[in-house]
A = this chain, B = another copy of it.
Amino acid sequence: MLNHPDRLFPADSAVRAIARRLFEAVERLPIVSPHGHTDPAWFALNEPFPDPARLLIVPDHYVLRMLYSQGVPLEKLGVRPRIDNDETAPVDGRAIWREFASRYYLFRGTPTRMWLDHTFEFLFGQSTPLNAANADQYYDAIAECLQREQFRPRALFESFNIEVIATTESPLDELKAHQQLRDSAWGGRVITAYRPDPVIDPDTRGFAANLARLGELANEDTNTWTGYLNAHRRSREFFASMGATSTDHGHPTAQTADLAPAEAAALFDKVLSGRADAAERELFRAQMLTEMAAMSVEDGMVMQIHPGSMRNHQPAVFERFGADMGFDIPTPTNYVSALKPLLDRFGTHADFALILFTLDETAYSRELAPLAGVYPSVKLGPAWWFFDAPDGMLRYRELVTETAGIYNTAGFNDDTRAFPSIPARHDMARRIDCSYLASMVATHRLAEEEAAEIAKDLAGELARRAYRLPASV
Q: State the A residues within 8 Å of B (CB).
A: 3-4, 6-15, 65-66, 68-71, 105-111, 114, 129, 310, 313-317, 326-327, 329-332, 334, 336-337, 340, 343-344, 347-348, 350, 359-362, 365-367, 369-376, 378, 386-387, 389-392, 398-399, 401-408, 439-440, 442-447, 450, 453-454
A403 to B71, CA, bound (A): 17
User: Within 8 Å CB of A340, what residues of B?
Assistant: 313
Measured between C-beta atoms, what is the minimum distance from A242 to chain B in Å? 29
In the complex, are the beta carbons of A314 and B373 less than 8 A apart? Answer: no
User: Within 8 Å CB of A392, what residues of B?
Assistant: 365, 402
In the complex, are the beta carbons of A402 and B389 less than 8 A apart? Answer: yes
Neighbour of A407 across the interface among B68, B70, B317, B374, CB < 8 A: B70
User: Within 8 Å CB of A453, what residues of B?
Assistant: 105
In the complex, are the beta carbons of B386 and A403 less than 8 A apart? Answer: yes
User: Within 8 Å CB of A406, what residues of B?
Assistant: 108-109
In the complex, are the beta carbons of B401 and A110 less than 8 A apart? Answer: yes
A302 to B13, CA, bound (A): 46
A362 to B334, CA, bound (A): 14
Residue of B nearest to A360 (CB): B366
In the complex, are the beta carbons of B330 and A336 less than 8 A apart? Answer: yes
User: Within 8 Å CB of A347, what residues of B?
Assistant: 314
Among A66, A334, A402, A447: residue with most chain B CB under 10 A? A402
In the complex, are the beta carbons of A386 and B361 less than 8 A apart? Answer: no
In the complex, are the beta carbons of B337 and A365 less than 8 A apart? Answer: no
**28 CB < 8 A contacts A-B:** A6-B443, A7-B445, A9-B443, A11-B15, A11-B439, A65-B374, A66-B405, A69-B408, A108-B450, A109-B405, A110-B402, A111-B402, A114-B445, A310-B337, A313-B340, A314-B344, A314-B374, A316-B348, A330-B366, A332-B366, A359-B366, A360-B362, A361-B365, A362-B366, A365-B386, A389-B403, A390-B402, A391-B401
